Amino acid sequence: MNNMAATVLSVVIPALNEATSIERTLDRLVVQDAIDEIIVVDNGSEDGTQKIVLDYAAAHPQVALIEEPQRGIPAARNAGFDKARGDFLARTDADTLVGPDWGEVIRHTLTEHPEIAAVTGITTYHDSPVGFFLKIGYYLQDRRGKLGGQVGNMHGPNMAIRRSAWETVRADTTMRPDVAEDLDLALCLTKRGLRIEQLTDMRAETSARRRRTSPRDWWRFQLTGLRTITDQGYQVRPFHRAVIVGAWLTHTVQWPIYRFWDFDRRRFTLRPGRARVSAVGEHT
């Protein structure tokens, strides 16, 4: 327990135009005693995100705001990780609601298991009309013993890494905005022989608003995964292609539902909503 108390857990949140969601995200984090520091990295917001975070930080000294002018999650993430003082560096998104014991699960795992370099968790949706399908899918995988254990990827809104591991791979990671930054980081860890563990009790709920992306743009987004794999020197295999095709098909089937879903009012509407998805590699 003393060892756990001696460590510092920092959480980094890249943010771009997240005025409508950032406060709820911070509310979930500041009440967790296991979290010592929360750094919001503003990536060029024009909607009042900065003011909201600064006002929030005035009442919560563990929250800080920094700016990163270079657009893209890789640049924002790196700026936050470099600024953070934590022995453990967690990351989530500005539209994500972490579980009430999220910080404790991260801290306990990385403290008690020095062989683990990074952790990632189970992420579902908090604003989806059909999000229960994802929860059912995870439940069935868990029943079959397919969740948890060593993995080769991480999910950006729900992950953490040791500072020592980050310092080992930082120079290997790409700053290009047209790659999947979480997969890129995971591949860098794997190449160095550093272990990533999936934790079934590390829970978070993110926004499903990306599901409004058109099938054509979603396909382009899926291709960033293949680009990330090749850029890190790995060979793209049929399995990788099958995964992105499956992900694209799943998205395409759901897309008509989300077109008529009002994320603010949490109800269906007769007017199709406008997608809130930016260029690949940027925030959404």
CB within 8 Å of 61: residues ≥ 6 apart: none
pLDDT in tens, 11-29: 999 999 999 999 999 999 9
CATH of region 2-210 = 3.90.550.10
Contact 11, 87 (CB under 8 A): no
Q: What is the pLDDT of residue 275?
A: 52
Residue range 215-238: mean pLDDT, rounded: 95
Percent of the chain with pLDDT over 70: 94
Q: How confident is the model at residue 202 (pLDDT cuts 50, 70, 90)?
A: very high
The DSSP symbol for 85 reads -
Residue range 237-253: mean pLDDT, rounded: 95
Q: What is the pLDDT of residue 271?
A: 77
Per-residue pLDDT at 9 exceeds 80:
yes
Q: What is the pLDDT of residue 283?
A: 60
Task: For CATH 3.90.550.10, list the domain ranges present in the chain.
Answer: 2-210
pTM: 0.92
pLDDT in tens, 59-116: 999 999 999 999 999 999 999 999 999 999 999 999 999 999 999 999 999 999 999 9
DSSP characters over 174-232:
---TTS-HHHHHHHHHHHTT-EEEEEEEEEEEE--GGGGS-HHHHHHHHHHHHHHHHHT
User: What is the rounded distance in angstroms from the CA atom of residue 23 to the CA atom of residue 202?
Assistant: 21
Q: What is the pLDDT of residue 279?
A: 37
Per-residue pLDDT at 42 exceeds 60:
yes
pLDDT in tens, 132-174: 999 999 999 999 999 999 999 999 999 999 999 999 999 999 9
235: closest CA among 243, 226, 244, 247? 226
The encoded tokens of residue 90 equal: 């967690």
- Count CA atoms closer than 13 A to 127's CA, side-chain side: 20
Beta strands per DSSP E along the chain:
9-15, 37-42, 63-67, 88-91, 97-98, 116-125, 149-151, 159-162, 195-206, 261-262, 267-268
Angle at 213 between CA 207 and CA 216, to 5 degrees: 150
Residue range 188-196: mean pLDDT, rounded: 97
Strand duo 159-162 + 88-91: pairing: antiparallel
The encoded tokens of residue 159 equal: 């992950």
The DSSP symbol for 242 reads H
Contact 32, 100 (CB under 8 A): yes
Per-residue pLDDT at 277 exceeds 50:
no
Residue range 255-266: mean pLDDT, rounded: 93
**CA 59 to centroid of chain Cα atoms:** 26
Mean pLDDT of the chain: 93
